[in-house]
């Protein structure tokens, strides 16, 4: 699933596609599934590693916020971009030692606010920090597929 680079577990493009597909299949099965813009998807996938390199930071909340904001603003999928962004951010944090504990309504508010540019990336970073707690990612070693990981979250945003 994740690709480990410089002690950070990054999600691959295939992971992001799988998250998007799974969310649509489970929550809004009548919506079309697909990538609208592969270049924007690749750009979003690479964003956390670019931020890590150029900002010289290992702050997982900064990196997760970069991934979330990029997926929402780049809008690479036909549907469920905000849901995919928030789920990808939650899984990224989980893989890197943090569990996102925010209630669903808070998740919706921040995702919609990022889409409308009502919140900055810095505010998203602070929000992620506020709503996260340490998590032993070694517990994920027994996970057979992403379905189990995704089952830990009930993030549903209006399409």
pLDDT at 139: 73
Digit-coded pLDDT (tens) for 35-91: 999 999 999 999 999 999 999 999 999 999 999 999 999 999 999 999 999 999 999
- At residue 145, does pLDDT exceed 50? no
pLDDT at 137: 80
Token reading at 29: 């099965």
Digit-coded pLDDT (tens) for 77-130: 999 999 999 999 999 999 999 999 999 999 999 999 999 999 999 999 999 999
| pTM for the predicted model, two decimal places | 0.88
- At residue 138, does pLDDT exceed 90? no
- At residue 142, does pLDDT exceed 90? no
| Band of residue 159 on the pLDDT scale cut at 50, 70, 90 | very low
Kindly provide the residue ranges of all beta strands, DSSP E only, lying in the chain, ordered along the sequence: 3-5, 8-10, 98-100, 132-134
Parallel, antiparallel, or unpaired: how do β-strands 8-10 and 132-134 relate?
A: unpaired
Q: Does domain 3-150 have CATH number 1.20.120.1870?
A: yes
d(CA 106, CA 121): 16
pLDDT at 27: 93
Q: Average pLDDT, stretch 4-25? A: 91
């Amino acid at each position: 699933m994740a690709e480990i680079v410089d002690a950070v577990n990054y999600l691959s493009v295939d992971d992001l596609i799988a998250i998007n597909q799974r969310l649509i299949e489970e929550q809004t099965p009548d919506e079309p599934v697909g990538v609208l813009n592969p270049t924007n998807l690749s750009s979003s996938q690479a964003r956390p590693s670019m931020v890590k390199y150029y900002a010289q930071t290992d702050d997982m909340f900064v990196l997760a916020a970069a991934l979330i904001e990029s997926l929402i603003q780049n809008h690479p999928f036909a549907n469920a971009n905000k849901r995919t962004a928030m789920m990808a951010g939650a899984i990224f944090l989980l893989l890197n030692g943090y569990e996102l504990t925010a209630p669903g309504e808070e998740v919706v508010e921040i995702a919609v606010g990022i889409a409308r540019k009502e919140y900055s990336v810095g505010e998203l970073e602070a929000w992620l920090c506020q709503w996260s707690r340490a998590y032993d990612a070694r517990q994920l070693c027994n996970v057979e597929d992403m379905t189990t990981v995704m089952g830990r979250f009930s993030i549903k945003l209006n399409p």
